[in-house]
Chains A and B, each alone.
Chain A
Amino acid sequence: MPTPPLLALRGVCKRFGVVQVLKDVELEVRAGEVVALLGDNGAGKSTLVKVISGVAPADRGVIEWEGRAVQIRRPHDARDLGIATVYQDFALCGNLDIVGNLFLGREIRNYGFLDEVEMERRTRDLLEHLTTGVPDLRAPVVSLSSGQRQTVAIARSVLGDPRILLLDEPTASLGFEQTTLVLDLVDRLRDRGLGVLLISHNMGDVKALADRAAVLRLGRNNGFFDVNTVSQEQIISSITGATENVPRRMAPREEAW
């Protein structure tokens, strides 16, 4: 291997109280690559995202960034490394316009006053790179469609020049047309050399977009696939556990919850 992966997890474990949510999870994301993270409900996908984004740090295991071990204890650590997360519920301010949302908390200032012109210019340049239909930058976000809002949320996370983007179910609440809009955006981000970790339930999205897929099952790795060569059935059976030779293990704690 000439270059180490951008982000690599080695033997990551995480427990909440008595529940072992993640056990010895391995994962690699390279620059310019979309990795789909798949798994049934309760497989530990969201927890893995929280581990990487520093919201819920790992108990054990090593996280490597470009080949060297790093500590991610807080969201701040992840952000400093260049890890950006887009959560499922966009978390935008509906009353602010697109420019206001993109730069919220990191406004460009000029003698203490907001530099609206510069912020609007950068927003326009960024959105022109990301998407074809740039909406009215001064319209309040509440008047945008959900696909456009997702675009704004992703653009907001890209603004900090991250190296890796974590997307938690980016198309879950979107219609067909809106989904294409967002998938196209992720495609462009990959072309710009970002690593993307895409959590999705939608096999269509995964086939259309991902280069590799990593399947989690009951908190453990349950296979890595090259999306272009493997069949959809193989991935699905890995998600549901049909490929396991051993009888289906009980997951007493998780199901009890």
Chain B
Amino acid sequence: MVKGIRKPADRTRADSAPSTAESGPPHRGRDIVRAVEALAAAFRHRVRAGELGSFPVVLVLLAVWIVFQTLNENFLSPRNLSNLGVDIVGTGLIAVGIVFVLLIGEIDLSVGSISGLAAAVFAVLNVNHGVPEWLAVMVGVLVGTAAGTVQGASFAKTRVPAFVVTLAGLLAWNGLMLYILGTSGTINIDENGFVAKLTSHYFSNDAAAYGLAAVGAGLVFLASYWDRRRRRAVGMPHRSLLEIGVRTGVLAVIAFAAAYVLNRFQGLPLALLIFLVLVAGLDVVLRRTHYGRQVYALGGGVEAALRASLRVVRVQTAVLAVSGTMAAIGGLFLASRITSVSQTSGSGVLLLNAIAAAVIGGTSLFGGRGRTWSAVLGILVIESVASGMAITDTPIAVQFMITGGVLFAAVVIDSLSRRSQEAHGRA
């Protein structure tokens, strides 16, 4: 009889998420207001839940741009922005690999050395030994993959923290690079070759940049539209057409503005195209595939992943393999930018910038939260600061201090939002 009187507790949070917003037919103006209100409500909901995502970094980026534009009116010129679009690619690709590693709650310190090693392998094979360029590129990238796999397997099997394994890698791969370069010092790569073209080629036809913007916005719209149709078919909450329209519209405005600026200089840079395609592709891998779900799960707790019979060792190895591969690709872009490989390739602040970019963009150091796009936003901030400093003749010392400050703020925001998320759970 006691069974009868138990009353189920209703702890459902009033969910003001946009999912329930429906578009009524005639009043477009009111509809738009309602859609904006829904977006704002969703945003407040996320802020309260400690899920700020990319919002702080967008603010920082805008602030940096406004400050430097007031200091020097050439900062937001098409030439400077276009160069910025190419400068972010090398380090940005490395940062995308770092995002994968941070997602499983680990860190990879070897990416700088691996990027230098891959570039050196390519240059020595291609320039010194006359190996065809495509083959040398393949070997260089695969060396990065192999280095990452070795580190990943030893970290996953021995349970030595990735921090330590990749610290050993940092030294070892750097040594290997110096050994491969031998006495040759600096190797200049072919200025008309494929690798040099990676960062020097522009699609000067205006249609290229606008086309990319249109295709990107179109794909985003179609994906949301299909999702909405399927949800509606089975009677699930779904976004209103208007909300999808507003979201896609905002994205399209940004994309077409960027395309317009790029076309006013030399057109769409090949490097930026490759970067965006890779980031978008890896974003889909992380969020829409079984592999990606496992990566996030590992960041949420290895114990839970083991209980769910995930192949933890395999995923951990694969994540460091991805980071090694991305480091190698990034290294080739960095070599391409200066059309040479030297003993200092992959050293200096490269590693720190790559990690800082991922964290500044909103990827959590504690694992389990973040997206590949955060690497893009983060590296944009870092390179914007660097470019603004160069354009205003500020000493590099100040640049380091500012980047350090931004990184510090990013880490604090990450930590606070994590705590607020947990507090939210207890409320």
Which B residues, 206 to 238, have Cβ-Cβ distances below 8 Å to chain A? 227, 230-231, 234, 236
Contact A143 B424 (CB under 8 A): yes
- Contact for A107 among B284, B293, B367, CB less than 8 A: B293
A184 to B3, CA, bound (A): 8
| Residue B8 is within 8 A (CB to CB) of chain A in the complex | yes
Contact B301 A184 (CB under 8 A): no
Knowing A96-B296, A114-B290, say if A181 contacts B307 (CB, 8 Å): no
Q: Hey, what's the 0/1 contact readout for A68-111 against B, CB within 8 Å counting as 1?
A: 00000000000000000001000111111000110011010100
- Contact for A187 among B3, B11, B296, B305, CB less than 8 A: B3
Instruction: Looking at the assembled complex, report how far the CB atom of A184 sits from the nearest CB atom of chain B, in whole angstroms.
Output: 5
From A2-10, A116-124, A164-172, give the one contacting chain B. Answer: A116-124
Instruction: Looking at the assembled complex, report how far the CB atom of B114 sits from the nearest CB atom of chain A, in whole angstroms.
Output: 28
Chain B residues at the A interface, C-beta cutoff of 8 Å = 2-3, 6-13, 15, 17, 49-51, 227, 230-231, 234, 236, 284, 288-290, 293, 296-297, 299-301, 303-305, 307-310, 367-369, 421-422, 424-426
Contact B368 A133 (CB under 8 A): no
- Contact for B11 among A145, A208, A209, CB less than 8 A: A145
Residues of B within 8 A of A184 (CB): 6, 8
Chief secondary structure at chain A's binding surface: mixed
In the complex, 7 of the A-B residue pairs with CB atoms within 8 angstroms, ordered by the A residue number, are A93-B296, A104-B310, A143-B424, A144-B425, A180-B9, A181-B9, A184-B6
- Contact for A180 among B6, B290, B301, B424, CB less than 8 A: B6
Residues of B within 8 A of A177 (CB): 9, 11
Residues of A within 8 A of B17 (CB): 136, 138
- A120's nearest neighbour on chain B, judged by CB, is B236
A144 to B301, CA, bound (A): 16
Which interface residue of A105, A138, A148 has the most chain B CB atoms within 10 A?
Answer: A105
A208 to B425, CA, bound (A): 28
- B48's nearest neighbour on chain A, judged by CB, is A143
Residues of A within 8 A of B288 (CB): 113-114, 116
Contact A94 B301 (CB under 8 A): yes
A113 to B293, CA, bound (A): 11
| Residue A139 is within 8 A (CB to CB) of chain B in the complex | yes
Which A residues, 138 to 161, have Cβ-Cβ distances below 8 Å to chain B? 138-140, 142-145, 147-148
| Residue A183 is within 8 A (CB to CB) of chain B in the complex | yes
| Residue A46 is within 8 A (CB to CB) of chain B in the complex | no
Contact A208 B2 (CB under 8 A): yes
Contact B301 A136 (CB under 8 A): no
| Residue A223 is within 8 A (CB to CB) of chain B in the complex | no
